[in-house]
Amino acid sequence: MNVLKTVLALAALVFVTSCTIESDTVLPDPTAAGDAIPGFPSDKPFRLETFDKGKQAYKAFATATPEHEGEAVRYAVAFDDGTPNRLVVQARKISENNYLIRFAQTIEGMRPSLNESGLGFVTVRDGDYYLMSGITDDGQLEEMFPGQEAPRGAGTSTIKLDTMAQAETISAWFGANFQKLTEYKDYTKFRVVKQ
């Protein structure tokens, strides 16, 4: 899946050891607008910076531009390295401070497809954003879905979600446990550059 390789290379949003998260049924339109993410400016482009765990410092990596459709919004993300491809990001609020996102690679003049997209989970805490767009360990899936059937793809490189209920379960687990995942490198921390 090309977009996930691009995300890996450009923004370090997921790591090679992680399983990607996909779905044909959850947020199935990769170009749709969705819910606003709190703290993201709604009226102008804004800069994002990611936290480098090794250097213990933030580093700017992209510019996001809100695109409105009525009350809904999506974000077009351009990376600082000059790559012409962009990401289109839509969000769905799952619960207070917890969001499901679909990110899709877009090439100028072409409409993004589900094959060029993936899912991620964002939790917002004190002005910082934590994004999980991959799951490293099947043990985590067992912890997320105790006594339940886990999403398809457990034990493979791609987790497939079939229902919004599965997304809600993962979102709730990530929101409650993201700080425990530092050692797994399953998420990235980022923030909006203060103006």
pLDDT bracket for residue 178 (50, 70, 90): confident
Average the pLDDT over 14-28 and give the result. 74
Residue 77 pLDDT > 50: yes
pTM of the model: 0.87
Q: What pLDDT score was predicted for residue 44?
A: 96
Contacts of 58 (CB under 8 A, 6+ apart): 49, 50, 51, 52, 191
Average the pLDDT over 98-114 and give the result. 86
Q: What pLDDT score was predicted for residue 185?
A: 60
pLDDT bracket for residue 5 (50, 70, 90): very low
Residue 62 pLDDT > 50: yes
Contacts of 43 (CB under 8 A, 6+ apart): 66
In 3D space, the residue among 104, 122, 121 whose CA is nearest the CA of residue 113 turns out to be 104
Q: What pLDDT score was predicted for residue 113?
A: 83
CB 174 within 8 A of CB 125: no
Residue 104 pLDDT > 70: yes
Strand partners, 12: none
CB 13 within 8 A of CB 133: yes
Higher pLDDT, 131 or 3: 131
State how far Cα 121 lies from the chain centre: 5
